[in-house]
Structure 1
Amino acid sequence: MSEKKFASRLIDFLKEIYSCVHCGYCLEACPARDASYFDVYGSRGKMQLFKSLLEGKTEISKDFADRIFNCALCGWCTYKCPEELPTTDIFVAARHECVSKGIGFMTVEAARRYLLKSQNPFGASDSERIEWSKGLNLKRTGETVLFASCMNPLMGYTELINVLGVSFEKVVELFGFLEEMDLDRFVRELAGIVDPNEYYQEVLRRAVKILRFIGIEPAYLREDEPCCGKPLHTYGYLEDFVKQAEYTAKMLKERGTKTLILLNPVCLYVFRVLYPKFLGNFDINAKHFSEILAENLDKWSDQAAFKNPVKVTYHDPCYLARYLDVIEAPRIVINNIKGVELVEPEYTKKETYCDGGGGVEVTHSEAAVKMAARRAQMLLETGAKKIVTTCPACVAMIRVGLRAINAPEDVEVIDLADLVYEALIQNVEL
Structure 2
Amino acid sequence: MASTKAKGKAPAKEGQGEAGAGRSRNQFTKERPPLFAEELWACMYCNYCSAECPTAREVGWESTTPRGKIRMFKSLVDQWHPKRGVEVPDAFVCAVYECTSCGRCSVVCHVGIDFLSHHEEWRRWLARSGCGPMEDHDVMVRSLENYGNPYLSPSRDRARWAEGLELPTKGELLYFAGCSDSFVHPDVARRTVAVLRALGMDVAYLGNDEPCCGSTTARLGLEGSFADLASDVRTRIEGSGAKLVVTACPGCSSAFREYYPKAGFDLDVEVVHLTELLDRELRKGRLRFRERLPGRYVYYDPCHLGRIDGVFEPPRRVLEACVEEVVELARSHEESLCCGSGGGLKTAFPDQATSIGGRVVEMAQDARADTLVTACPWCETNIGDASAARTAGLRVVDIIEVVHQALRLDEAEEGTEKRKRRAPGRLVG
Match of 2:400 in 1: 417
Contact preservation (8 Å) 1:61, 1:103 = no
Contact preservation (8 Å) 1:242, 1:279 = no
Structure 2 counterpart of 1:45, which letter?
A: G
Contact preservation (8 Å) 2:64, 2:95 = yes
1:347 aligns with 2:340: no
Contact preservation (8 Å) 2:346, 2:352 = yes
Give the deviation of 1:13 after TM superposition: 5.0
Structure 1 counterpart of 2:324, which letter?
A: V
Match of 2:72 in 1: 49
Question: Which ranges of structure 1 fall in alignment gaps of 5 or more residues?
Answer: 1-7, 156-199
Match of 2:359 in 1: 374
Give the deviation of 1:203 after TM superposition: 1.3
Match of 2:340 in 1: 356
Contact preservation (8 Å) 2:63, 2:91 = no
Contact preservation (8 Å) 2:34, 2:122 = no
5 Å matches for 1:9-408?
10-56=33-79, 59-104=87-132, 105-155=134-184, 200-279=185-264, 281-297=266-282, 298-299=284-285, 301-306=287-292, 309-337=294-322, 339-358=323-342, 359-408=344-393
Q: Distance in 2 between matches of 1:9 and 1:389?
A: 41
Q: Distance in 2 between matches of 1:9 and 1:82?
A: 30
Q: Secondary structure at the match of 1:217?
A: coil
Q: Distance in 2 between matches of 1:11 and 1:253?
A: 35
CA-to-aligned-CA distance 1:120-144 (integer Å, 9 cap, x gap):
1123112322111011111111121
Q: Which has the larger radius of gyration?
A: 2
The higher relative CO (CA closer than 8 Å, separation ≥ 6) is in 1
Q: Distance in 2 between matches of 1:209 and 1:13?
A: 50
Q: Say which is worse superposed, 43-52 or 142-151, in terms of deviation.
A: 43-52
Q: Distance in 2 between matches of 1:10 and 1:259?
A: 39
Q: Distance in 2 between matches of 1:224 and 1:119?
A: 10
Give the deviation of 1:328 after TM superposition: 0.5
Contact preservation (8 Å) 1:16, 1:85 = yes
Q: Distance in 1 between matches of 2:33 and 2:130?
A: 17
Structure 2 counterpart of 1:399, which letter?
A: G
Match of 1:197 in 2: none
Q: Say which is worse superposed, 249-258 or 412-421, in terms of deviation.
A: 249-258
Q: Secondary structure at the match of 2:246?
A: strand
Structure 1 counterpart of 2:60, which letter?
A: Y
Q: Distance in 2 between matches of 1:29 and 1:388?
A: 23
Contact preservation (8 Å) 2:328, 2:367 = yes
Contact preservation (8 Å) 1:203, 1:417 = yes
Structure 2 counterpart of 1:239, which letter?
A: G
1:426 and 1:117, CA in 2 relative to 1: closer, same or farther beyond 3 A?
Answer: closer
Give the deviation of 1:54 after TM superposition: 1.4
Q: Say which is worse superposed, 133-142 or 120-129, in terms of deviation.
A: 120-129
Q: Distance in 2 between matches of 1:420 and 1:9?
A: 51
Question: Which ranges of structure 2 fall in alignment gaps of 5 or more residues?
Answer: 1-30, 81-85, 414-429
Contact preservation (8 Å) 2:63, 2:95 = yes
Q: Say which is worse superposed, 385-394 or 116-125, in terms of deviation.
A: 116-125
Q: Secondary structure at the match of 1:287?
A: strand
Q: What is the number of residues matched between the two proteins?
A: 375
Q: Distance in 1 between matches of 2:131 and 2:39?
A: 24
Q: Distance in 1 between matches of 2:149 and 2:79?
A: 38
Q: TM-score, normalised by structure 2?
A: 0.83
Contact preservation (8 Å) 1:46, 1:68 = yes
Contact preservation (8 Å) 1:305, 1:426 = no
Q: Distance in 1 between matches of 2:406 and 2:380?
A: 19
Identity %: 29
Q: Say which is worse superposed, 265-274 or 420-429, in terms of deviation.
A: 420-429
Q: Secondary structure at the match of 2:42?
A: coil
1:223 and 1:143, CA in 2 relative to 1: closer, same or farther beyond 3 A?
Answer: same
Q: Distance in 2 between matches of 1:26 and 1:311?
A: 33
Supply the RMSD in Å over aligned alpha carbons: 2.0
Q: Secondary structure at the match of 1:60?
A: strand
Q: Distance in 2 between matches of 1:274 and 1:9?
A: 23
CA-to-aligned-CA distance 1:74-100 (integer Å, 9 cap, x gap):
110011112222212211221222222
